[in-house]
């Protein structure tokens, strides 16, 4: 797996870092990922554990399209969390590629956390995912997510149903929003990591290139308020970044699949696109810690989700 220098603007320490003293002299380091159906809360949980937003989230299924690694540093351990797309029945070439990505990550990590949203019953997708991961070398733990959304009785039912699915090494209920049990989950994952020297330098938060993170933040802003097929049709490519003194000019293209979608994204007299730009700019400035100027263009790439050439251009 790729390791090395990465994005490290904020020298971040997880709040657990100072609180958790090494239990023995063993230093552990390794890779973990959350898997689960789309919208299960994998990216939100990844951000909560890493302690900073490295992965975008939304209430639309299939938000994550890139494998993004977030690194948690503790005195006794380094946990590399790999955020993956939700596993789903693919309807396009993009969907197939995303599922392939997920399986590639499964085979490389030490620990897999299968996520089950507490506010939804266990479904066929969950059963399928559980049976698939059971064949892997990784330790598999179950994570019941979004527990803040259900009453204790529903949670108890969910935990029982999960226990019946597969002999998970542990079952941990969490809420990434309230922070409930997030530290416990982190400890559990680290317990199953191998003894290993540090994998990344101290201050690295993610090894994702700036350009990809920026594109993702723009896509996250563009996803807000759009419905039906449109969220799936949106892709973002950062074309250029120019540093001019303390201002960074970023030129990015938002791709959609049809002219009608282009009008929706732009909005009447450009109002929607302006909102997207304002929201994305604030997020990007927070990420980079610099002032930016954001230049957004909306372009049509017909049926890009099914076209190998366009997929390649868009980074898939
Ligand atoms: N109330 C509550 N909402 C949550 C929690 N975790 C995630 N969510 C919400 O659930 C939605 C989906 O979260 P994501 O983290 O994007 O889900 P995901 O599993 O990464 O989804 P894909 O990338 O599409 O596979 C978002 O609207 C989140 O805000 C939680 O602990 N509590
Ligand atoms: Mg996600």
Instruction: Please state, in angstroms and as integers, the Cα–Cα distance from residue 298 to each residue in 231, 255, 275, 285, 312, following that order.
Output: 14, 6, 14, 21, 19
Bridge partners (DSSP) of residue 187 are none
Within-domain flag for 301: yes
Question: Is 168 found in the same domain as 96?
Answer: yes
Q: Take atom 8 of ligand 1 and give the residue whose Cα is closest.
A: 41
**Is 37 annotated as belonging to a binding site?**
yes
Say whether pLDDT at 139 is over 60: yes
Q: Flag whether 154 is in a domain.
A: yes
Span of 21-35, 60-74, 152-166 with lowest mean pLDDT: 21-35
CATH number, domain of 39, equals 3.40.50.300
This prediction has a pTM of: 0.91
Ligand 1 neighbour 58 (Cβ under 6 A): yes
Angle, vertex CA 115, rays to CA 109 and CA 117, nearest 5:
170
Among 139, 160, 191, which residue terminates a domain? Answer: 191
Contact 84 CB / ligand 1 (< 6 Å): no
Q: How far is the CA of 249 from the centre of ligand 2 (A)?
A: 28
56, 126: one domain: yes
Asked whether residue 51 carries a pLDDT value surpassing 50, the answer given is yes
- CATH code of the domain containing 283: 3.30.300.20
Ligand 1 atom 14 nearest Cα: 41
Q: What is the pLDDT of residues 153-173, one digit of tens each?
A: 999 999 999 999 999 999 999
182's tokens: 């997030």
Say yes or no: 34 and 174 in one domain.
yes
Please check whether residue 273 lies inside any domain of the structure.
Answer: yes
My answer on whether 237 and 161 are in the same domain is no
245 Cα–ligand 2 center, Å: 35
Residue 202: inside a domain? no
Ligand 1 center from residue 39 Cα (angstroms): 5
> Is 113 marked within a binding site?
no
Q: Using alpha carbons only, give the angle 147, 151, 155 rounded to the nearest 5 degrees.
A: 55
- In a domain? residue 203: no
Mean pLDDT of 222-235: 94
Statement to judge: residues 160 and 113 lie in one domain: yes
Residue with the bigger pLDDT between 208 and 265: it is 265
Are residues 167 and 27 part of one domain? yes
pLDDT of residue 201: 94
- Where is the domain boundary, 160, 191, 222? 191
Looking from the CA of residue 59, the nearest atom of ligand 1 is: 27
pLDDT over 60 (residue 3): no
User: Do 175 and 54 share a structural domain?
Assistant: yes
Q: Confirm if 289 and 10 have CB atoms less than 8 A apart.
A: yes
- Whether residue 73 is predicted with pLDDT greater than 80 in this model: the reply is yes
**Which of the listed residues 146, 164, 191 is the one where a domain comes to its end?**
191
- CA angle 39/44/46 to nearest 5° reads 115
Pair 185, 216 in one domain: no
Residue 53 is given by DSSP the state -
Half-sphere exposure (Cβ direction) of 148: Cα atoms closer than 13 Å? 9
**What integer pLDDT is reported at residue 62 of this predicted model?**
92
Distance CA 89, CA 112 (A): 20
Q: Is 255 within the bounds of a domain?
A: yes
Residues 16 and 124 in one domain: yes
pLDDT band at residue 203 under the 50/70/90 scheme:
confident
pLDDT in tens, 78-90: 999 999 999 999 9
* 167 and 248 inside one domain: no
Beta strands, E only, 84-203: 111-117, 139-145, 171-173
Q: Show the tokens assigned to 127.
A: 């059963």
What is the residue with the minimal CA distance to atom 30 of ligand 1? 146
Closest among 39, 69, 42 to 54, alpha carbons compared: 69
Cβ 148 under 6 angstroms from ligand 1: yes
DSSP SS3 for 65: coil
Cβ–ligand 1 contact at 177 (below 6 Å): yes
Q: Is-contact 45 15, C-beta < 8 A?
A: no
Q: Which residue has the least CA distance to atom 12 on ligand 1? A: 39
Number of domains in the chain: 2
86 with 121, same domain? yes
Residue 263 belongs to a domain? yes
DSSP annotation of 23? S
CA distances from 236 to 7, 50, 243, 297 (A): 20, 24, 20, 10
For 246, the domain range is: 210-313
């Amino acid at each position: 797996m790729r390791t090395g220098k990465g994005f490290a603007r904020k020298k971040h320490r997880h709040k657990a870092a100072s609180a958790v003293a090494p239990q023995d002299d063993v230093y552990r380091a390794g890779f973990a990922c959350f898997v689960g159906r789309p919208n299960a809360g994998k990216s939100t949980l990844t951000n909560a554990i890493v302690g900073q937003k490295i992965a975008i989230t939304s209430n639309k299924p299939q938000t994550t399209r890139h494998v993004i690694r977030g690194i948690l540093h503790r005195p006794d351990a380094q946990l590399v969390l790999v955020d993956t797309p939700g596993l789903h029945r693919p309807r396009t070439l993009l969907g197939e590629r995303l599922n392939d990505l997920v399986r590639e990550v499964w085979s490389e990590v030490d620990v897999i956390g299968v996520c089950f949203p507490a506010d939804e019953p266990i479904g066929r997708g969950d059963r399928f995912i559980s049976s698939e991961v059971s064949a892997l070398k990784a330790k598999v733990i179950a994570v019941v997510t979004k527990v803040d959304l259900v009453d204790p009785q529903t949670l108890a039912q969910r935990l029982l149903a999960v226990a019946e699915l597969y002999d998970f090494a542990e079952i941990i209920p969490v809420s990434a929003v309230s922070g409930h049990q997030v530290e416990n989950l982190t400890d559990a994952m680290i317990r199953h990591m191998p003894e290993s020297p540090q994998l990344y330098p101290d201050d690295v938060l993610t090894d994702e290139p700036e350009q990809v993170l920026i594109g993702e933040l723009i896509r996250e802003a563009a996803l807000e308020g759009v419905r039906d097929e449109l969220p799936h049709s949106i892709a973002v490519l950062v074309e250029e970044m120019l540093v001019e003194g303390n201002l960074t000019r970023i030129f990015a293209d938002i791709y959609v699949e049809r002219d009608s979608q282009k009008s929706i994204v732009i909005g009447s007299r450009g109002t929607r696109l302006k909102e997207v730009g304002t929201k994305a700019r604030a997020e990007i400035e927070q990420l980079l810690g610099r002032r930016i100027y954001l230049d957004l263009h909306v372009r049509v790439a017909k049926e890009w989700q099914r076209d190998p050439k366009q997929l390649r251009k868009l980074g898939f």
